Structure 1
Amino acid sequence: MKKSRNVFLAILLSGAFAAAAAETEKAPDAAELRELSVKLLDKLSGSLVDVEYFFRPDENGKRPEFTVQYYCPGCRSMHSGSADSLIEDQRPFKVPGYAVAPDEFISSDIGALPEWIESLDLVFGGKRYPAKVVAYYPAQKSVLLKTASPVPGVVPLAFNPKAEGKRFGFSRSEESGVEHAFTAPWAPATVVRNLGNGETYVKTAANVLVVNEKGEVAALSMNDRLDVGTAPAEAVPSAWKQVSAAEHGRKLAEFKAMLEKNLYPVRIRLKPQKPLTGFAAHYQRRSENRNEADGIAIRMKDGKVLIAASLSPAETARLSRIVLTVDGKEIPARFVGSLQFFGALVAEPEQPLPGGGIAFYRGDAGKLSGASVYDAQLKSFGDKLELRVFPQKLESFDVGFRGMIVPAGRLLRQGYVFTENGELVSLPLERRKLDRDYASTEAVAASMVLALAGNFDPANVPQEGEEKIAWLGIEFQQLGPELARANKAAEFTEDGKNGLLVTYVYPDSPAARLGIKTGDILLSVTPDGSAAPVKFEGYQFGSEMDQFPWDRYDQVPPQYYDQIPAPWGTTRNALNRLLGGIGIGGKAKLAVVSDGRIHEYPFTVTAAPESFETAEKFNDSKLGMSVCDLTYEVRNYFQLKPEDTGVLVAKVKAGGRAAVAGIKPYEIVTTVDGEPVKNLESFRKLVEGRSELRIGVRRLAVTRIVTIAAPVGPVASAAPAEEE
């Protein structure tokens, strides 16, 4: 399809690209600007080219996860394109170019790495001319392109900084197959002062030619800022500081090599835990049940490493080993502490690491406005680290957590930003949030990391021994509209959408000590240091406790026993997992509706007593079953009295003697050969060495005697029951 050249657009822009006509001089109207746009386009068309970048996957067939972009002065926004989508659509990314010689052209630096470029062409007069980048202009965010031979018909721009007459900003671009010309009075008058570093500059338009009414070119403005007092002669390409492509590549390679000596992939191993089942598993994040986590380690100047890896306190409690991969070798590291608020920890390697370490920039990132930086995009794959480094300029900033200043822009927010001398300015970390489904990665200033590294989170540490589960010590159920209104709590709970109705409070539990009672409604929890309460949204806190098939239990074949969830639900329910996100020993406030009023209870998260999931299991392989002591939630479910004793059948092996005799999981063994079973140890002694057993078994309120023929021989010692 032939390119259309019959649509032109003249836009009167504000600010640096705005009309600022003198009071005594009439500003041109829209009609005059349209006429001037046509005149300038015709006069300058011989100096304007299209630059087209085609991208390719890497040697492994992976497409670059990178967005290329340049600033369009016409629409005053960034034109961008995903390299992945451009490859998929088999189309180029286009930017305008300006001829400065028959075989040399200046264009925006779109930030693409050379290894990603399949081809780079100039398009002029309907023909394509292969080109290559031969130099960079860092301050102007531009590149110098060169063709193998002069391009026929091209008219190099003749710059005349002293050109007289009114000045206009002129630019041309192509959008959706239509060519647009933009013309507006050139009067850069917006002065900007950076209060962080005192820098003062004039805000102007980027990617425009500065021309007079005759079409004489006074300057080429590729950046959106000019130093105050810039002489006209300094705004032409011949006065720009140039870095050759070879020198640019050498500096980039040296910087990347320095990073490779000081950045390492990390694998964090966690102690395994029993997978959740049923409703609890449905609302469980995948990461909550992982046994490994990947991370990125930064060697600090003191020899320790900062590891970017988001572990919840419950996961950190299960931390068993930290392993760095350095030059292909595994180096263990010792946990030192977890950062507060963000997903990172500090560890100390067991042996010295190569590299001199990375210095952290201690100042306000806003003071680096206008500075050239390196943006490192990193990904960890167990023992491999993928590293890409892009030269960038810091031009805009965001105000982040607690007022910290961090680089703005999609790439810079997701990357590790370094000054040219190698100081870390910011890095991407996940903010710790109890509601982790909505957690997101954000740029964090290196200065804040240093401050937090001196005051670690005491509740986010590895735990020794068996798994510890946070708890409040209640049973609960969802509200819903009817229960909310019946309990006069509709106004506090969004008509039952939020809130948990307390149905039971365990004696001497944290809830009991706070004064929480049956019928109260839990609204939210707010960890210390957080200003945002986390609401208990009812749909995430469902229960399957009433769905156990006791009335059909005898119909369940033994091969399906392991698939039946415990009738009392899991201690690692949604509420306790949420509290685990605060960490054992962490402090928080609980909002509770009681007697028609909201009360706030400060509390410290504590570990639950031994539960069915954490209790020691005695596995008798000859009987084909395992048992454990009666834990607090089991006793509550079966409504046992304090004097009631026995052990719980935790698992029954299909085809084993216990299964053949009719014993099923979650029944209670009360006697062996007429002798009462007091606990796990007494059961072990009672069954040891006996050839035939008469076992008293209780299911709910019904007790029966089961006879098991057991072979004579040593009984297996206490051991964890086999898990699926």
Structure 2
Amino acid sequence: MIMRMRYIGIAVLCASLWGCGEAEPEEEGDRIAEHSAMIDQIAPSIVRVEYTLQYDQGEAPGGGGMRYRSSFPSMSPFLPWGGMSDGEDLIREERPRVVAGYVLASDKVVTEDIAIHPRFIKSIQIRSGDQVSDAHVSGYAVDRPAVFLTTSEPMPNVKPLAFDASVEPPYLTVRAEESEGRWIYYVGGASEEFGGVTGTTDGLRFRHHYSDGLWITKDGQAVTLGMLERLPLDDSWKMSPQDWPQISGEEMQALQDQVKARAAAGLLRVKLSLRSPKADQSEDRFGPMRYYGGDEDDPNDTERNALGVLVAPDRILILTEMKARTTARLERIIVHPEQGDPVSATFVVSLKDYGALIADLDQPLDGPIQLFDGDVRDQRMHLLPAAQVRVRGEQQIVYLGHRRLVGFELGWQRNIYPSLMGDEEDTFVFDKEGRLIVLQIAQRQKVAVEEQYSWRGGPQLTSAAQLAPLLTDVLAHCDENNVPLTEEQENRLAWLGVEMQGLDQELARANRVSQQTRDGETGALITYVYADSPAAGAGIEPGYILLRIRAEGQPKPIEIQMGYDGGYYEDFPWEHLDQLPEQYFDQLPAPFPGAENVLTRKLTDLGFGTQFTAEFFVDGQQVDKDFTVVQGPEHYGSTKRHKNEPLGVTVRDLTFEVRRHFQKTPEDPGVIITKIEPGSKTSIAGIKPYEIITHIDEQPVMNTDDFERLIADQAELNLSVLRLTKGRQVKITLDVEDEAVDDAPIEPDPAEEDVVEAF
């Protein structure tokens, strides 16, 4: 409403400044009577165009197809403050979408282009009084948002408009629209001098006008139909709609057939196969730590189908946004052309600033897409063929139509971002030569911009010319850390070498950092510093407050906000383990905090080798320390593991954070038990998850290699098992002939179930 009042205010101001050309001032009463009479004179030349909408394959025509985003305020039927309704609402309310139409002949009307796909249009009808005629789209204006409708039979009681561009001003404008259930007309003053002259440094000159609708003289002579926001300085804008550059429905179909062929050859489904994520047990139960705002889909995906743009016979731009931890698991890329066998492709790079990766095909394909390299702003309001291409699983769906670029916004790094009349989702817009003008692609957010628990939106409409420089020199625009990795490398993490506790209001005030941390909303207290870590080398000590990080290439500092800890259970039920039924073993959270937290994830996403400055607060003052992002030592989620089938047990090496929790030195022996199969020999012997095996047959077990070696070819094992600080000996017989224990799963009794519920 504020925006609408602003535009009304502009129109009133313009009218007061410009007047009505050279006409003498008239008495207010005479002017009102004259305008009122004009409504009666013009009304037979303006009809109601009614679009009855429908669902198509369960999809509503509500979203982008009904939206018009532009700086052009006068085209009110397309704008929220001008009575625009969502298509789904119209269907539910069983009423049509209504716009004004201007009669050119007894069977021909020109009206605004609502740019909605024909599959959502059940019928088009033209209403004049009580008379209703069926109609269809028979033509399209090339350089302004208008379409021509032809009726199935001549319309009675209408008055075709006769245009004369030679008549002199002053002019009036007449608009019609539906409001509050009435069909209303608006008659107002206009002037040839409207808006003055607008000029740009690159030589563009035009005049703005703020009145759409029919332009007439005071005598009712039609001059032109206002469908453009920017008008040339000469009188070439004054013409009959019949003289506008236009194409027929048959010519539009031919353009769409060309786009169909382009899309079939150059917009291809790409299947990405990913290795299953290497997760620790806490991740298996609670899911990995999620940092939303990156991957399009679940980071545990093992298969992803995306759309690719064939930019050269042997190169494809794959439109899928994957963070480094997902790309690390990428194993295979298969491109599926419409005709012929699938083609393998090899990963080249992930783009640094866009949600896409580039791959080279093992065999070249015909029909690469040519990118438009001109100024996208020159295509304003032009009729452009378009393809809406969707990948749903292994199915690729294409809808052909048209779009118009209606506005442009200055965005990231001063790039120009267009907006469309019509649905933007999954849309590729071409010019009449078949070059790709705009497409949807996500901008990859910098680490400092991502919010831990927020959704930041998806792909945005982007000029193809904006991507052209990236494709000519991909190595200069790649993310060196967002690449496929081996299974051993995929869970690597950066580290600073500290353990932290999130601040709250009380801690912030006690440490005199309320102002620097928004009263404890950000910042973290350093509680432990690992020896030989980057933090230790920089002199960081427990008690320091980590405020934030400033990194090269990041638009703002990275605030430290401690959040979800990844499934660690501080009050681990050690005293209840013996009563815990084995079927609940996999639901136990880890008793120790994981190596991955807000800080290590942010540093990893910054990329190894990145320079950064950490801001600390200690002894009443801020202290800055410079660091380089380095890879941390192996952690619980990445370390080597060994699974022994006869025993039904999986063990892992004791990593730095596990040793820290259990107060073990690097010289202390032990492997930690991470998984026990129900009904296995290990379970029957009473061994529980997260206990530590320190010796086998009195031989120290320093790592999983020792464990594997010491149990090999043994009929009987004597295990030294440690639960916290309490040790015990466990004997397990592996020889099947000597085994006297029933391997059937043990059913829990009700008392055991009550114990489980207690914690």
TM-score, L = length of structure 2: 0.85
Query: 1:72, 1:184 → 2: CA distance?
Result: 16
Match of 2:705 in 1: 681
What letter matches 2:176 in structure 1?
R
Query: 2:650, 2:416 → 1: CA distance?
Result: 58
Match of 1:39 in 2: 37
**Do the aligned partners of 1:372 and 1:393 also contact (CA within 8 Å) in 2?**
yes
> Which of these residues, 451, 463, 466, is aligned with residue 445 of structure 1?
463
Query: 2:357, 2:556 → 1: CA distance?
Result: 23
**Structure 2 residue 694 is matched with structure 1 residue 670:** yes
Indicate how the Cα distance of structure 1 residues 38 and 103 shifts in structure 2: closer, same or farther if over 3 A, else same. same
**Structure 2 residue 319 is matched with structure 1 residue 308:** yes
Match of 1:230 in 2: 235
Indicate how the Cα distance of structure 1 residues 597 and 308 shifts in structure 2: closer, same or farther if over 3 A, else same. farther
Q: Secondary structure at the match of 1:392?
A: strand
Query: 2:701, 2:729 → 1: CA distance?
Result: 14
1:559-598 alignment, distance < 5 Å: 559-598=583-622
What letter matches 2:327 in structure 1?
T
**Structure 2 residue 644 is matched with structure 1 residue 647:** no
**Do the aligned partners of 1:406 and 1:426 also contact (CA within 8 Å) in 2?**
no
Indicate how the Cα distance of structure 1 residues 669 and 371 shifts in structure 2: closer, same or farther if over 3 A, else same. same
**Do the aligned partners of 2:371 and 2:436 also contact (CA within 8 Å) in 1?**
yes
**Do the aligned partners of 2:278 and 2:487 also contact (CA within 8 Å) in 1?**
no
Match of 1:210 in 2: 215
1:350-499 alignment, distance < 5 Å: 350-355=362-367, 357-369=368-380, 371-409=382-420, 411=422, 414=425, 415-433=427-445, 434=447, 435=450, 437-440=454-457, 441-453=459-471, 454=473, 455=476, 456-466=478-488, 467-472=490-495, 473-499=497-523
**Do the aligned partners of 2:314 and 2:363 also contact (CA within 8 Å) in 1?**
no
Indicate how the Cα distance of structure 1 residues 698 and 596 shifts in structure 2: closer, same or farther if over 3 A, else same. same
Deviation track 1:259-312 (CA, whole Å, cap 9, x = no partner) reads 221111222222221452677757554633333333221111363111111111
Q: Secondary structure at the match of 1:123?
A: strand
Deviation of the 1:638 alpha carbon? 0.4
Indicate how the Cα distance of structure 1 residues 218 and 675 shifts in structure 2: closer, same or farther if over 3 A, else same. closer
Deviation of the 1:443 alpha carbon? 3.3
Indicate how the Cα distance of structure 1 residues 595 and 136 shifts in structure 2: closer, same or farther if over 3 A, else same. same
Indicate how the Cα distance of structure 1 residues 291 and 515 shifts in structure 2: closer, same or farther if over 3 A, else same. farther
Deviation track 1:325-383 (CA, whole Å, cap 9, x = no partner) reads 2126432211111111221111101111121x222333443344454434443332233
Query: 1:580, 1:291 → 2: CA distance?
Result: 22
Match of 1:190 in 2: 195
Query: 1:160, 1:99 → 2: CA distance?
Result: 15
Indicate how the Cα distance of structure 1 residues 214 and 351 shifts in structure 2: closer, same or farther if over 3 A, else same. same
Pick which of 42-51 and 413-422 moved more: 413-422
Query: 2:100, 2:227 → 1: CA distance?
Result: 11
Indicate how the Cα distance of structure 1 residues 515 and 152 shifts in structure 2: closer, same or farther if over 3 A, else same. same
What letter matches 1:461 in structure 2?
V
What letter matches 1:676 in structure 2?
P
> Which of these residues, 326, 330, 337, is aligned with residue 326 of structure 1?
337
Query: 1:582, 1:89 → 2: CA distance?
Result: 51
**Do the aligned partners of 2:285 and 2:587 also contact (CA within 8 Å) in 1?**
no
**Do the aligned partners of 2:108 and 2:148 also contact (CA within 8 Å) in 1?**
yes
> Which of these residues, 42, 59, 62, is aligned with residue 62 of structure 1?
59
Match of 2:742 in 1: none
Indicate how the Cα distance of structure 1 residues 514 and 335 shifts in structure 2: closer, same or farther if over 3 A, else same. farther
Deviation of the 1:648 alpha carbon? 1.4
Pick which of 525-534 and 143-152 moved more: 525-534
Match of 1:150 in 2: 154
Indicate how the Cα distance of structure 1 residues 118 and 702 shifts in structure 2: closer, same or farther if over 3 A, else same. same
Q: Secondary structure at the match of 2:312?
A: coil
Pick which of 74-83 and 557-566 moved more: 74-83
Q: Secondary structure at the match of 1:327?
A: coil
**Structure 2 residue 51 is matched with structure 1 residue 53:** yes
Match of 1:85 in 2: 89
Deviation of the 1:448 alpha carbon? 3.4
Match of 2:755 in 1: none
Query: 2:14, 2:398 → 1: CA distance?
Result: 38
Query: 2:486, 2:141 → 1: CA distance?
Result: 57
Q: Secondary structure at the match of 2:298?
A: helix
Q: Secondary structure at the match of 2:139?
A: strand
**Do the aligned partners of 2:65 and 2:423 also contact (CA within 8 Å) in 1?**
no
Deviation of the 1:411 alpha carbon? 5.0
Query: 2:539, 2:465 → 1: CA distance?
Result: 43
Identity %: 30
**Do the aligned partners of 1:650 and 1:665 also contact (CA within 8 Å) in 2?**
yes
Pick which of 298-307 and 425-434 moved more: 425-434
**Structure 2 residue 165 is matched with structure 1 residue 141:** no
Deviation track 1:28-74 (CA, whole Å, cap 9, x = no partner) reads 6876654344222211111111001112233x343345423577738
Query: 2:538, 2:271 → 1: CA distance?
Result: 40
Query: 2:443, 2:189 → 1: CA distance?
Result: 46
**Do the aligned partners of 2:568 and 2:594 also contact (CA within 8 Å) in 1?**
no
Match of 1:722 in 2: none
Deviation of the 1:409 alpha carbon? 4.4
> Which of these residues, 324, 330, 349, is aligned with residue 337 of structure 1?
349
What letter matches 1:505 in structure 2?
V
Q: Secondary structure at the match of 2:586?
A: helix
Deviation of the 1:163 alpha carbon? 4.2
Query: 2:393, 2:102 → 1: CA distance?
Result: 46
**Do the aligned partners of 2:669 and 2:695 also contact (CA within 8 Å) in 1?**
no
Match of 1:271 in 2: 275
Query: 1:474, 1:330 → 2: CA distance?
Result: 49
Q: Secondary structure at the match of 1:139?
A: coil
Match of 1:613 in 2: 637
Unaligned runs of 5+ residues in structure 2 are 1-7, 738-759
Pick which of 342-351 and 670-679 moved more: 670-679
**Structure 2 residue 74 is matched with structure 1 residue 73:** yes
Indicate how the Cα distance of structure 1 residues 163 and 410 shifts in structure 2: closer, same or farther if over 3 A, else same. closer
TM-score, L = length of structure 1: 0.89
Pick which of 528-537 and 631-640 moved more: 528-537
Q: CA RMSD of the aligned region, Å?
A: 3.0
What letter matches 1:41 in structure 2?
I
Deviation track 1:480-512 (CA, whole Å, cap 9, x = no partner) reads 111112222211111111112222222223333
**Do the aligned partners of 1:15 and 1:190 also contact (CA within 8 Å) in 2?**
no
Indicate how the Cα distance of structure 1 residues 76 and 196 shifts in structure 2: closer, same or farther if over 3 A, else same. farther
Q: Secondary structure at the match of 1:581?
A: helix
Match of 2:741 in 1: none
What letter matches 1:166 in structure 2?
P
**Structure 2 residue 125 is matched with structure 1 residue 101:** no
Query: 1:228, 1:498 → 2: CA distance?
Result: 57
What letter matches 2:209 in structure 1?
T
